[in-house]
Structure 1
Amino acid sequence: MLFTNNRGLKHPAMLKLKHLVRTHFGSSDEAYNCCIQVEDESGYQGFRLTKYLVKAAIQGFTMKLQVLVPKVLPLREILWYLLASLLHNLSTKSQKLEAPGGDGVKLNLKIGIEHICIHPSGRAIIDGIGKSLGLSGYDVEPSRMALHRFGNTSAAGFWYALGYMDAKKRLKKGNRILMSGFGAGFKCNNIVWEVVKDLDDANVWKDCINRYPPNTLVNPFMEKYSWLNDEILNFVRFDFSQLSA
């Protein structure tokens, strides 16, 4: 992807950057350790993910909303949310304002954002953020399908999800897209793009977009070949760590 501030190149551009908000809360031990590169008992480096990961992602997303919401939502929606939250809390005799995604009043981001692009890093993250924002299956479909077809491809996953929206002809001029990504630190990065022209270009999805979404996201190979993970087959597995340099 090419990013530029040269106004002379605006005509071939697809997207315009509107807002960027980054939150980082590595001061929390749980957040810092929920996604961290470490060595295992054999000395191999890898990333350790803990059960706190989803909670950290939602916490970072909520922190970000405090900065981003005034930039993307009209004042009337913000005032309605604050008033509705106050009335809800009074009715339940609670003194704590309900966070977006709680069991009380939900903030409707879709009033200021037409498309939500959640990083397809895992089903739990996609479902957790989708639930916290009250998103529909249609809203989280691009991220789920990108994860289903390509897996977790790190930062590139955003563009697979965006390409899905493009291939489905969802992106129209003037639409706004919220990209929300998470990573070690723990950090939460969020970008709001504006579509500057109707998008319907062929991309990496062109050979299969008509088959998506599938009727089921169950991986048929997991059921067919799951026997490969049986403990009884340990004797045929080769230990590559024994290879000399």
Structure 2
Amino acid sequence: MVINHYKMRGNILSYNLGGMGCSAGIIAVDLARDMLQANPNNYAVVVSTEMVGYNWYPGQDRSMIMPNCFFRMGCSAVLLSNRRLDYPRAKYRLEHIVRTHKGADDRSFRAVLLWDLVWRHLFGKKNGSLPSLPPKPYIPDYKLAFEHFCVHAASKIVLDEIQRNLGLSDKNIEASRMALHRFGNTSSSSIWYELAYLEAKERVKRGDRVWQLAFGSGFKCNSLVWKSMRRVKKPSRNPWLDCIDRYPVTSFTG
């Protein structure tokens, strides 16, 4: 549909990233990077979107209606370039892409719950008290490595757990929470709404490192690290411009 609408050339390369879920945006950037490395002096456009219309539930079962309220339509587009002439006007430089897939591990493949919940479920209560949890792994201080965080806005509970497990502050997770409050779960495009929030707040300074973290289906985790090439001023077009002065809100449910 996109190729037809924009009347693109007949030799254009099209890749299907369907089924990748909320982490598809980072997977698409990884693919675009590989294509640019093989084709110097070129551009690549990455479009991330959530199409809730295809999964709309028209029935009356309340448990099935919940996703109708939870997921929202969302879309973002990112222009990537490996042209030297674009260096002076680029906002960010792609530093790292890390993709971790644990689908080959049966424990990861079958597990969607958090480990501590599984531990409590398996061993239950003893003498009126919960068993001690296994030792927690060492968690580095990610705040020393990154100035900004864009964590996929899956839900309030998920963000709470990620904040706790990664040792992030309320300020670190603010962009994710506000994106969830304003736009809901927009799947793969949520991390770009969060980056737009930081830009609308004019928080990104020259040399800042931005960590975008997306995950899906319980056993995929993909992350991007961008380094700011310059101070990013408030853009003239941004999905937050009509409401940025009202954020952050102090509390909400999600």
1:168 matches 2:245: no
**Among candidates 169, 175, 186, match of residue 142 of structure 1:** 175
Segments of 5+ residues of structure 1 without an aligned counterpart are 35-49, 57-95, 102-106, 220-245
Who wins on radius of gyration, i.e. which is larger? 1
Return the structure number with greater helix share.
1
Identity %: 40
SS of equivalent to 1:177: strand
Evaluate the alpha carbon distance shift between residue 218 and residue 133 of structure 1 in structure 2; reply closer, same or farther with a 3 A threshold.
closer
Deviations 1:33-61 (A, max 9, x none): 45xxxxxxxxxxxxxxx5x1x559xxxxx
TM-score under structure 1 normalisation?
0.59
Alignment of 1:89-100 (within 5 A): 98-100=136-138
Rounded Cα–Cα distance in structure 1 between residues aligned with 2:216 and 2:89: 31
Give the conservation status (yes or no) of the 8 Å contact 1:117–1:140.
Answer: yes
Q: Residues 41-97 of structure 1, C-alpha deviation per residue, up to 9 Å, x if partnerless?
A: xxxxxxxxx5x1x559xxxxxxxxxxxxxxxxxxxxxxxxxxxxxxxxxxxxxxx98
Q: Distance in 1 between matches of 2:89 and 2:179?
A: 26
Alpha-carbon contact 1:100-1:133 (below 8 Å) kept: no
Aligned match of 1:9: 86
State the distance in 2 between where 1:55 and 1:7 align: 47
1:216 matched to 2:254? The reply is no
Equivalent residue for 2:99? 22
CA contact (8 A) 1:100 1:132 kept: no
Aligned residue type for 1:190: S
Is 1:197 aligned with 2:197? no
Task: Identify the match of residue 155 of structure 2 among 110, 119, 122.
Answer: 122
Query: Residue 139 of structure 1 aligns to a residue in which SS?
Result: coil
- Following the alignment from structure 1 to structure 2, what is the Cα–Cα distance between the partners of residues 206 and 147? 16
Equivalent residues, number: 158
Q: Distance in 1 between matches of 2:228 and 2:108?
A: 34
CA RMSD of aligned residues (A): 2.2
Structure 2 counterpart of 1:229: none
Tell me which amino acid in the other structure corresponds to 1:144: R
Deviations 1:109-135 (A, max 9, x none): 111211111111122221111111211
1:5 maps to amino acid: N
Report the CA distance between 1:98 and its aligned residue: 4.5
1:133 equivalent in structure 2: 166
Match of 1:156 in 2: 189
1:7 Cα shift? Answer: 2.0
Name the CA distance, whole Å, in 2 between partners of 1:206 and 1:129: 28
Q: Distance in 2 between matches of 1:8 and 1:98?
A: 48
Instruction: Look up the SS of the partner of 1:142 in the other structure.
Output: helix
The list of structure 1 runs, each at least 4 consecutive aligned residues, that deviate by more than 4 angstroms after superposition, is none
The two structures have a TM-score, normalised by structure 2, of 0.57
Offset of 1:148 from its aligned partner? 0.8
| Structure 2 unmatched ranges of 5 or more | 1-77, 117-133
- What is aligned with 1:234? none
Q: CA deviation at 1:31?
A: 3.1
